[in-house]
């Protein structure tokens, strides 16, 4: 798709990426304007585990998300590798095979001031969100993810959602 930059009037080619910048002057185009709203959500390992185990505190919320919103959900090959048990829920799986250096180096700082690397599954969700502008958020109980992902990494016109299954259901008016 080609368009004319409103700032420098160059004809530039538009590709479906999170960041659509004019290659000549750096003008930032609205992704939404060309490709519509982001409508998919990434699901972390703990949501599947919560739904699979009846004794888990968040069992009902996780099950509701995976059954009511299956068509909007995506996960990664790294999350599937972490589940390690039979899972009857169906979601689309995106393959993430390489991490950007900025994603590779993300780490938590513990209260003892030690660096603690993110798991490959956590990194894969962040990388998948960067690579796929149709992704509007990450559903996880690992709220630390929120604290380590700078907003410049996942550019999003609407606030990028990072929240629990309960938060997601609340957002959708189910709670
Ligand atoms: Zn321009």
117 CA distance to ligand 1 centroid (A)?
A: 39
The span from the CA of 147 to the CA of 152, in Å, is 13
22 CA distance to ligand 1 centroid (A)?
A: 5
- DSSP conformation letters of 88-135: ----EEE------HHHHT-EEE-TTS-EEEPPHHHHHHHHHHHH-TTE
Range of the domain at 13: 1-30
Specify burial of residue 87 (Cβ count, 10 A radius: 0-12, 13-18, 19+).
middle
Looking up tokens 């999350």 gives 79
What pairs with residue 139 in β-bridges? 43, 163
Q: Is there a single domain that holds both residue 54 and residue 12? A: no
pLDDT on residue 10: 95
10 CA distance to ligand 1 centroid (A)?
A: 6
pLDDT on residue 150: 81
116-149 b/e (C-beta count within 10 Å ≥ 16 → b): eebebbbbbbbbbbbebbbbbbbbbbbeebeeeb
131 CA distance to ligand 1 centroid (A)?
A: 23
pLDDT on residue 117: 83
pLDDT on residue 92: 95
pLDDT on residue 148: 86
Q: What is the CATH number of the domain that holds 98?
A: 3.40.50.1010
Phi first, then psi, for residue 166 (nearest 5°) are -65, -45
Per-residue pLDDT of the chain in tens (175 residues, 90 and over written 9)? 899 999 999 999 999 999 899 999 999 999 999 999 999 999 999 999 999 988 878 999 999 999 999 999 999 999 999 998 888 888 999 999 999 999 999 988 777 878 888 899 999 999 999 999 999 999 999 877 888 888 888 988 889 999 999 999 999 998 7
What pairs with residue 107 in β-bridges? 117
Q: Is there a single domain that holds both residue 84 and residue 133? A: yes
23 CA distance to ligand 1 centroid (A)?
A: 7
pLDDT on residue 147: 83
Q: Is there a single domain that holds both residue 1 and residue 74? A: no
Which whole-number Å values give the CA distances from 162 to 14, 67, 100, in the listed order?
28, 19, 20
| pTM of the entire predicted model | 0.90
40 CA distance to ligand 1 centroid (A)?
A: 30
pLDDT on residue 174: 82
pLDDT on residue 80: 94
Number of domains in the chain: 2
Q: Is there a single domain that holds both residue 45 and residue 10? A: no
Q: Which two tokens stand for residue 149?
A: 């992902």
Q: Is there a single domain that holds both residue 26 and residue 45? A: no
The beta strand positions in the chain, using DSSP E, are: 2-4, 11-13, 40-43, 73-76, 92-94, 107-109, 115-117, 135-139, 161-163
161 CA distance to ligand 1 centroid (A)?
A: 30
The span from the CA of 126 to the CA of 161, in Å, is 12
133 CA distance to ligand 1 centroid (A)?
A: 21
Residue 51 is classified by DSSP as: H
Q: Is there a single domain that holds both residue 51 and residue 121? A: yes
81 CA distance to ligand 1 centroid (A)?
A: 43
- Cα 29 from chain centroid (whole Å): 21
155 CA distance to ligand 1 centroid (A)?
A: 19
Q: Is there a single domain that holds both residue 25 and residue 100? A: no
Q: Is there a single domain that holds both residue 22 and residue 44? A: no
Q: Is there a single domain that holds both residue 60 and residue 18? A: no
pLDDT on residue 114: 82
3 CA distance to ligand 1 centroid (A)?
A: 10
pLDDT on residue 71: 95
């Amino acid at each position: 798709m080609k368009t004319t930059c409103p700032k420098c009037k160059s004809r530039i080619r538009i590709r479906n990426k999170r960041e659509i910048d004019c290659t000549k002057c750096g003008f930032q185009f609205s992704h939404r304007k060309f490709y519509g709203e982001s409508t998919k959500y990434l699901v972390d390992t703990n949501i599947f585990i919560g739904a699979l185990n009846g004794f888990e505190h968040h069992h009902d919320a996780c099950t509701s998300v995976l059954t009511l919103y299956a068509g909007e959900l995506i996960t990664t090959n790294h999350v599937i590798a972490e589940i390690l048990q039979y899972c009857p829920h169906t979601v689309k799986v995106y393959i993430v095979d390489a991490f950007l250096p900025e994603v590779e180096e993300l780490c938590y700082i513990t209260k003892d001031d030690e660096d603690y690397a993110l798991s490959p599954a956590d990194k894969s969700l962040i990388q998948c969100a960067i690579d796929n502008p149709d992704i509007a958020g990450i559903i996880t109980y690992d709220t630390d993810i929120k604290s380590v992902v700078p907003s410049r990494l996942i550019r999003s016109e609407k606030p990028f959602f990072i929240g629990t299954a309960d938060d997601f259901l609340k957002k959708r008016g189910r709670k």
